[in-house]
A and B are shown apart, each in its own frame.
Chain A
Amino acid sequence: MVTLKSLPEEELFLAGSTACHGCPSSLALRIAFKALGSNVLLIVVASCTSVLQGSYPFSAINVPLLNMAFATGGASASGAVAGYKALKKRGEIEEEPTVLVWAGDGGTYDIGIQSLSGAAERETNFIYFCYNNEMYSNTGTQRSGATPLGAWTTTTPAGKPQHRKDIAQIMIAHGIPYVATVSLAYPLDFFQKMQKAKSIVGTKYIELLAPCPPGWKFPSSKTIEVSRLAVQSGMWLLYEHENGETRFTAATKKIIEGKVRKRPVKEYLDMQGRFKPVLEKPEGKEAEELLERKVTESIKRLKGWVPEYI
């Protein structure tokens, strides 16, 4: 069994990163590297992660890293994978490295969806990791297709009027062999899903809910707490989808099985400043109810993929 103590000690995410305090992408990179080891090629598309690695000539990332343009996650992976296939044919390498794309929600839900979809349809053998902080953080907190209903961003000053899309479900619809959601509050679940993704051939999609202290307006010491409450309130559901079946995991599983009581969405919203403008208005109650209803609907929809609930 994997325990926190049994995780590899080697740190491939080094000191000296220029990330904000409490940055979820940095915390996630650390866990991802522990799961994948060092035979990894990391491709980062434009996002906060382009910046937090440090600047030329220094880098806090101790695996080979290729920074690519915003929209190119999937295509860059296809290129790198094909390149290494060629090197293998040439006899230059024995084992092809794991190709890992690291992208934000903007780079995944919005500008990069075409490239990601193409790579998935081509069955490119790589892991696509989306750290979803539900907005464009790097450019200063603008809305994205992942921003939830009611959330303040600089381009939704009165709160976002639309729901977010569910890209993990869109990836499941591509028929790829592995899709999983992860949370920083459940690091072992996260670690195991990364390891599993590494062992599967084909396109793997993993998405992290990435609470961003400056963007979501909560203290930087609370990234893990906000992550946990997101799962406990059902605003972020932990599951994995493999061979046409979905399996709930970690706290989400316990909530669905009725072993743990789901916390109200309101508690999660109240921890963050970004919902304040909406919650303080008369429509606040309605937004809260709509989000709560969305949680119920999402669980219902996901259950449709779980054999024991069908």
Chain B
Amino acid sequence: MRVLETGNHLVALAARAAGVEVVPAYPITPQTQVIEKIAELIAAGQMDAEYIPVESEHSACAALVAASLTGARAFSATSAHGLAYMHEMVHFAAGIRAPVVMVNVNRALGPGWNIWCDHQDSISQRDTGWLQLYAASHQEVVDSVIQGYRIAEDWSVLLPHMINIDAFVLSHTYMDAEVPEIDEVKDFLPPYKPRWKFDPRLPVTHGSVVYPDDFSETRQSMQIGQENARRVIREVCKEYSELFGRWHGDLVEEYRIDDADIAIVAMGTIASESKVAVDVLREEGVCAGVFRVRYFRPFPIEEIRSLGHRVKSVLVIDRDYSYGMEGALFTELKGALYGYSEIPVRNLIVGLGGRDVSYELIVDMAKKALSGELGEITWGDSRLTSAHRVTLECLEDFKKIFG
């Protein structure tokens, strides 16, 4: 089915195509249209699923976990403060090995309140055990939700899958996309078959007290699931492309990397913008390419190590920040390269709180990175304006009153 829809509505249609059976969810801008559309489809008899209008995101994720453990295919969507609010249950979902799919519409975390795109929300969930994908186009959003269940539910993985989509850039803009029908998906994604379940036919205790003697094993098994996911992701993406003719990359997507001197490494839609920048750079005689990290977890270690031998320089764009350190993707990439490559790696921090990131800026920064002009970390679009000066004047007033 070819449709012209917003990213958020495409998520809903993809969840239906994936045969989702239970949807606990709580509204937050910019995710709302996902759950509104699902509620609408169910009410119109066009989607056969249980919608649970929970009273908070913490509860959304709790219901998601419990529903998944019964053996039903469960889905939710959230964003920013919602994701932060469910943090305890985000750990829980992975720890109890619930292979759910959840879309996170990437949005900044306040204060100050900011509903626009950056990756701080999902990056802050880095160590929970979830698989994390960052989509770069509307079509990829659709295909990732469907692929997500195949990957998460694979018995060698059994971990929850977060699909990150950039707020507004993807969530609210309309694009045409192909949404497969449920019948077309069935062979690729059969009904969920759990490896274990919460079921009266077999009385088993799930999630009990685990003493130090056994705990590391439960956590190492999560890492094994993540490692297996690397193989499963490659296989599933390949199979999907053969069946449906669409390929968005597997753990990574490369664009004009083969003969590049500099690789621009990014996640989400900034990677799409970077492709435009690369075309411009090449017209100007600069050999650049884009290396898009699709999966932040599992991290594409092997792909990055090989990249370290293929290019002379890397510019990592982070739409997030690990305070007291540097951009999170920058840290991860350097960690993967350690001991394998000594090429210079630079970090560009841009696009926080939805600031528009233009290809011109990326072109400029890439040139500076190549010529060695760029420091290790550059806040590429941060500047003090008259509005910030008002704040400074206000601070002076505080000083007068409180000393």
The chain A residues found within 8 Å of chain B, CB to CB, are 38-41, 43, 50-51, 53-57, 59, 61-69, 71-72, 74-80, 82-87, 89-90, 92, 97, 114-115, 117-118, 121-122
Contact = CB atoms under 8 A, between A and B. Distances in A.
Nearest to A50: B209
B27 to A, nearest CB: 14
A65 B205 CA distance: 5
A59 B24 contact: no
B200 A41 contact: yes
24 contacts: A41-B70, A63-B203, A64-B199, A64-B203, A65-B203, A66-B206, A67-B205, A67-B206, A67-B207, A67-B208, A68-B62, A69-B88, A71-B88, A72-B58, A74-B59, A75-B54, A75-B55, A75-B66, A77-B66, A79-B62, A79-B63, A79-B65, A83-B50, A83-B71
Given A55-B211, A86-B73, 16 more contacts: A40-B200, A41-B198, A59-B205, A65-B208, A66-B69, A68-B92, A72-B58, A78-B24, A79-B74, A83-B22, A85-B50, A86-B49, A86-B50, A86-B70, A117-B55, A122-B53
A83 B74 contact: yes
B202 interface: yes
A50 B200 CA distance: 19
A59 B52 contact: no
B249 interface: no
A87 B71 contact: yes
Given A61-B203, A80-B198, A114 B53 contact: no
Nearest to B68: A83
A202 B50 CA distance: 16
Contacts of B74: 79, 83
Interface string B24-66: 1000000000000000000000001110111110111011111
Q: Which 5 pairs across A and B sit closest by C-beta, in order of nearness?
A: A83-B70, A79-B66, A79-B63, A118-B55, A75-B59
A123 to B, nearest CB: 11
A83 B69 contact: yes
Nearest to A62: B203
Interface of B: 21-22, 24, 48-50, 52-56, 58-60, 62-74, 88-89, 92, 191, 198-200, 202-211, 214
Nearest to A71: B58
B205 A115 contact: no
A69 B92 CA distance: 8
A115 B73 CA distance: 22
A89 B211 CA distance: 39
A64 B208 contact: no
Nearest to A92: B71
Nearest to A12: B203
A65 B202 CA distance: 10
B211 A75 contact: no
Contacts of A63: 200, 203
Given A82-B72, A118-B54, A122-B53, A72 B21 contact: no
Contacts of B22: 79, 82-83, 86
B51 to A, nearest CB: 8
B271 to A, nearest CB: 35
B136 to A, nearest CB: 32
B200 A80 contact: no
A33 to B, nearest CB: 11
A166 B355 CA distance: 50
Given A55-B211, A68-B65, A83 B59 contact: no
Contacts of B53: 122
Contact of A66 (B58, B60, B66): B66
Contacts of A121: 55
A72 B210 contact: no
B54 A86 contact: no
B208 A114 contact: no
A86 B52 contact: no
B59 A66 contact: no
Nearest to A75: B59
Contact of A79 (B67, B73, B202, B209): B67
A75 B56 CA distance: 9
Question: Which residue of A53, A62, A64, A92 has the most chain B CB atoms within 10 A of its CB atom?
Answer: A64
Contacts of B199: 41, 64
A74 B70 CA distance: 16
Nearest to A65: B205
Contact of B202 (A64, A67, A75, A86): A64
Contacts of B198: 41, 64, 66, 80
Contacts of B209: 50-51, 53-56
Contacts of A64: 198-200, 202-206
Nearest to B70: A83
Contacts of A80: 66-67, 69-70, 198
A61 B56 CA distance: 30
Given A86-B21, A115-B59, A59 B208 contact: yes
B64 A79 contact: yes
Given A38-B203, A66-B207, A67-B206, A79 B55 contact: no
A61 to B, nearest CB: 6
Contacts of B89: 69, 72
A79 B86 CA distance: 15
Given A55-B210, A69-B92, A82 B50 contact: yes
A75 B24 contact: yes
Given A72-B58, A77-B66, A97-B200, A83 B205 contact: no
Given A75-B63, A87-B70, A56 B58 contact: no
Contacts of B204: 59, 64-65
A54 B74 CA distance: 30
A62 B50 CA distance: 29
Given A39-B200, A53-B205, A118 B56 contact: yes
Contacts of B50: 82-83, 85-86
A54 to B, nearest CB: 7
Contacts of B67: 79-80, 82-83, 86
A92 B72 CA distance: 11
B58 A75 contact: yes
